[in-house]
């Protein structure tokens, strides 16, 4: 099913040693020990090949550190009116919803210790004796009761003259930051039952001369319940903000709409004028969401009215609307050949990172069609990360990853598994593991995930192991195991998938500097130990003024000289805020592609998404299609670069 060559370099050409002595029987033992087999994983942890002398892979923990996946974790078929997919069966997770992480609460003790000192951010090179920081005049902590309206004046002052700018870091729900038109603003907020406790609010003052010179001032607001709770008014529920989206005529659209009631149970949503043949149902797992699905039959701007009704007082409502721009199929046609066809002719894999649950988005079918047409490889942007896939010990949510695998196989795309070992997007239970258990948990995770997806040929085994200023990054894995965690992770991965390409993936390693130095020192040590690293993943989250192409070329060559493959794994090129242009952005894409094409060991060119509608750097529009899925200069540069 996976039609694309693993690598443009034949496996024989790889100089990295392949994990010795792996036989199918050993693999089966790993599989069963991981709990992925039918034995359920309660038995002994099995033989992972550790009897070989010189085997440097520790046994899997016995008993397991955390329970393996069980039948309860298997996703179930999802009814079609919840998604935009028409050509395969979408599955969904069935367990209870995982509660959202709450921000740590400020304690009464901390509050009583007195107000916080403002934090001043000084840009490099600024002389603070010549230019003093802006501050907020007379700002102090506040006390109030739920149901009472609080007004707090924020008046930024600059000792050197001029009026500082300002902005709130995050407004509490239901609050406003009212502009007094005299350089000051007022926080106007009626806290409600759910706000009782001590809340923080931060405003930032910006120096009139140097916009990078800023004072972050956090105040605390202590909110108590009034003696008579019935004095708190029942505020009308509202529709959660719904950003405009693009849709395509005759293609299904799903809108996930959510009512928010700041002081009551989940409100009900009603559509006074629903589109023709629409279904509108409560989400089976997320009871505050309603899912509208319909197929727009004509082009144009569509506005759908939504009534939000209070669950306690049914006469209390608010009315809002959501809007969609419905375009025709031809509005999405792109000139020339598709990127995957051009890349395929050059034996290059070209890919993207897939948005989580794209099939639950309004524009899911446009997204899917373009992805399938343009790319022969995909990475899950988030679906394989531990916080999503294994949020609690013994609890697994595989649906998002399973759906992506189905989508990829249907469209002859290969998949990169990303990431197995990383220090970010970890659930609390992993963060709280004592050091002695981390190695076992890491190995278990690698085995369980890789065993579930044996089709995956490329794995980012260790992600972002190098620190910002060089040296190994000080992570929970390093703290528990020292550098050996890297070796153990790769050996464990090799034990499960002898033929997969195993990667060390990182950012800022393509340019000269402390990170690249650390990379090559680390590789020298690890390759000497026989650690089965096959390729280096260069993330390449760049800016439009990037110009260190010579360094990229040299660093790629140094990796090639070590006998390793090169994958560009997460390329995106953000527009700089000082007027970076799409033409500059396109040139950076083109150059990186050219460097990859001229380097025989660069097998893979992947971007971290493809539409500015969905990008982790969306403020800087870093991708090759715009928010309405129209091609940008970068798209055409890639076409031309591939065709040359």
Site of interaction with ligand XIL (CB under 6 A): 381-382, 419, 463, 539, 570, 616
CA–CA separation, 387 vs 542, rounded Å?
A: 26
Residue nearest to ligand XIL (CB): 616
**Residue 223 C-beta: closest distance to ligand XIL, Å:** 30
Token pair in block for residue 96: 């209870």
Query: Cis bond leading into 11, ω under 30°?
Result: no
**Residue 120 C-beta: closest distance to ligand XIL, Å:** 29
CA–CA separation, 601 vs 586, rounded Å?
A: 24
Q: Which three-class secondary structure string do you get for 373-413?
A: HHCCEEEECCCCCHHHHCCECCECCCHHHHHHHHHHHHCCC
Integer angstrom CA distances of residue 601 from 5, 8, 81, 348: 13, 7, 45, 10
Among 560, 635, 631, smallest CA distance to 595 is for: 560
**Residue 582 parent element (H or E):** helix 582-598
**Residue 416 C-beta: closest distance to ligand XIL, Å:** 11
Strand partners, 301: 325
Q: What are phi and psi of 483, to 5 degrees?
A: -60, -20
Q: Which is nearer to ligand XIL, 370 or 503 (CB)?
A: 503
Integer angstrom CA distances of residue 112 from 73, 108, 197, 221: 46, 6, 13, 12
Helical residues (DSSP H) of 422-503, grouped into ranges: 428-431, 435-452, 476-481, 484-496
Residues in the chain: 644
**Residue 528 C-beta: closest distance to ligand XIL, Å:** 27
Token pair in block for residue 630: 């129209």
**Residue 474 C-beta: closest distance to ligand XIL, Å:** 18
CA–CA separation, 200 vs 142, rounded Å?
A: 10
> 506-529: b or e for each residue (b if 16 or more CB lie within 10 Å)?
bbbbbbeeebbebbeebbeebbeb
**Residue 354 C-beta: closest distance to ligand XIL, Å:** 10
Query: Cis bond leading into 419, ω under 30°?
Result: yes
Q: Which is nearer to ligand XIL, 381 or 565 (CB)?
A: 381
Residue with tokens 């002389």: 127
| Cα 95–Cα 381–Cα 286 angle in degrees, nearest 5 | 30
Q: Which is nearer to ligand XIL, 198 or 386 (CB)?
A: 386
Helical residues (DSSP H) of 81-124, grouped into ranges: 108-112
Token pair in block for residue 524: 């020298």
Among 597, 596, 563, 629, smallest CA distance to 371 is for: 629
Q: Which is nearer to ligand XIL, 66 or 539 (CB)?
A: 539
CA–CA separation, 273 vs 276, rounded Å?
A: 9
Q: Which is nearer to ligand XIL, 398 or 422 (CB)?
A: 422
Q: Which three-class secondary structure string do you get for 121-133?
A: ECCCCCCCCCCCC
Q: What are phi and psi of 616, to 5 degrees?
A: -70, -15
**Residue 72 C-beta: closest distance to ligand XIL, Å:** 27
Strand partners, 309: 268, 317
CA–CA separation, 418 vs 569, rounded Å?
A: 10
Q: Which is nearer to ligand XIL, 463 or 488 (CB)?
A: 463
Distance of CA 99 to the CA centre of its chain: 18
**Residue 419 C-beta: closest distance to ligand XIL, Å:** 6
Q: Which is nearer to ligand XIL, 259 or 419 (CB)?
A: 419
**Residue 631 C-beta: closest distance to ligand XIL, Å:** 22
Q: Which is nearer to ligand XIL, 176 or 428 (CB)?
A: 428
**Residue 92 C-beta: closest distance to ligand XIL, Å:** 20
Q: Which is nearer to ligand XIL, 66 or 463 (CB)?
A: 463
CA terminus-to-terminus distance, the chain = 29
CA–CA separation, 109 vs 86, rounded Å?
A: 56
Question: What 3-state class would DSSP assign to 200?
Answer: strand
Catalytic (active-site) positions: 464, 570
Q: Which is nearer to ligand XIL, 382 or 599 (CB)?
A: 382
Let me know: does 466 contact 473? Beta carbons within 8 Å. yes
CA-based R_g, the chain, Å = 27
Sign of the CA dihedral with 213 first, then 511, 644, and 342 last: negative
Q: Which is nearer to ligand XIL, 458 or 637 (CB)?
A: 458
Q: Which is nearer to ligand XIL, 306 or 509 (CB)?
A: 509
CA–CA separation, 541 vs 55, rounded Å?
A: 37
**Residue 604 C-beta: closest distance to ligand XIL, Å:** 15
């Amino acid at each position: 099913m996976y039609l694309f060559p693993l690598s443009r370099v034949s496996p024989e050409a790889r100089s990295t040693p392949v994990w010795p002595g792996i036989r199918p029987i050993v693999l089966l033992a790993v599989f069963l020990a991981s709990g992925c087999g039918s034995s359920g994983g309660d038995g002994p942890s099995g033989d992972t090949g550790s009897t070989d002398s010189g085997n440097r892979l520790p046994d899997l923990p016995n008993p397991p550190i955390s329970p393996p996946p069980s039948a309860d974790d298997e996703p179930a078929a999802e009814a079609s009116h919840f998604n935009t997919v028409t050509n395969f069966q979408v599955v969904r997770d069935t367990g209870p919803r995982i509660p959202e992480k709450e921000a740590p609460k400020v304690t009464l003790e901390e509050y009583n210790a007195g107000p916080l000192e403002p934090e001043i951010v000084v840009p490099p090179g600024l002389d603070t004796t010549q230019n003093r920081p802006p501050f907020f005049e007379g700002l102090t902590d506040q006390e109030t009761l739920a149901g009472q309206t609080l007004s707090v004046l924020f008046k930024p002052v600059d000792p050197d003259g001029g009026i500082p700018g300002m902005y709130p870091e995050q407004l509490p729900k239901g609050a406003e930051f009212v502009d007094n038109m005299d350089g000051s603003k007022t926080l106007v907020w009626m806290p409600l039952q759910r706000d009782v406790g001590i809340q923080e609010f931060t405003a930032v003052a910006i120096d009139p001369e140097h916009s990078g010179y800023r004072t972050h001032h956090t105040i605390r607001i202590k909110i108590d319940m009034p003696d008579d709770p019935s004095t708190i008014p029942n505020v009308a529920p509202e529709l959660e903000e719904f950003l405009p989206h693009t849709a395509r005529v005759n293609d299904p659209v799903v809108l996930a709409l959510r009512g928010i009631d700041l002081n009551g149970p989940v409100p009900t949503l009603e559509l006074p004028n629903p589109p023709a043949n629409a279904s509108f149902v409560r989400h089976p797992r997320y009871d505050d969401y309603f899912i509208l699905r319909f197929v727009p039959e004509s082009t144009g701007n569509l506005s759908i009215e939504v009534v939000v009704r209070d669950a306690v007082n049914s006469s209390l409502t608010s009315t809002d609307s959501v809007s969609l721009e419905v375009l025709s199929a031809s509005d999405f046609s792109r000139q020339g050949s598709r990127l995957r066809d051009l890349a395929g002719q050059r034996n290059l894999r070209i890919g993207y990172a897939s948005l989580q649950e794209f099939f639950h988005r309004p524009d899911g079918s446009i997204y899917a069609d373009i992805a399938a047409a343009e790319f022969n490889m995909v990475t899950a942007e988030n679906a394989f990360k531990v916080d999503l896939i294994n949020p609690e010990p013994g609890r697994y949510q595989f649906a998002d990853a399973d759906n992506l695998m189905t989508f990829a196989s249907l469209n002859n795309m290969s998949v990169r598994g990303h990431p197995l070992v990383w220090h970010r997007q970890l659930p609390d239970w992993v963060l709280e593991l004592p050091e002695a258990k981390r190695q076992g948990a890491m190995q278990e995770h690698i085995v369980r995930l890789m065993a579930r997806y044996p089709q995956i040929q490329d794995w980012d085994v260790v992600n972002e192991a190098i620190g910002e200023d060089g040296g190994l990054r000080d992570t929970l894995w390093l703290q528990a195991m020292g550098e050996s965690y890297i070796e153990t992770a790769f050996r464990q991965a090799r034990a499960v998938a002898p033929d997969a390409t195993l990667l060390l993936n990182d950012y800022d390693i393509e340019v000269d500097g402390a990170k690249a130095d650390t990379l090559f020192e680390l590789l020298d040590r690890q390759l000497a130990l026989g650690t089965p690293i096959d390729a280096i993943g260069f993330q390449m989250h760049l800016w439009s003024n990037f110009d260190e192409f010579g360094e990229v070329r040299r660093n790629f060559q140094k990796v090639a000289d070590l006998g390793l493959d090169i994958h560009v794994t997460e390329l995106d090129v953000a527009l700089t805020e000082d007027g970076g242009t799409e033409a500059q952005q396109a040139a950076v894409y083109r150059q990186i592609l050219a460097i990859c094409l001229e380097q025989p060991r660069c097998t893979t060119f992947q971007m971290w998404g493809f539409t500015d509608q969905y990008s982790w750097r969306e403020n800087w529009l870093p991708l090759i299609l715009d928010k309405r899925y129209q091609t940008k200069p970068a798209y055409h540069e890639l076409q031309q670069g591939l065709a040359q």
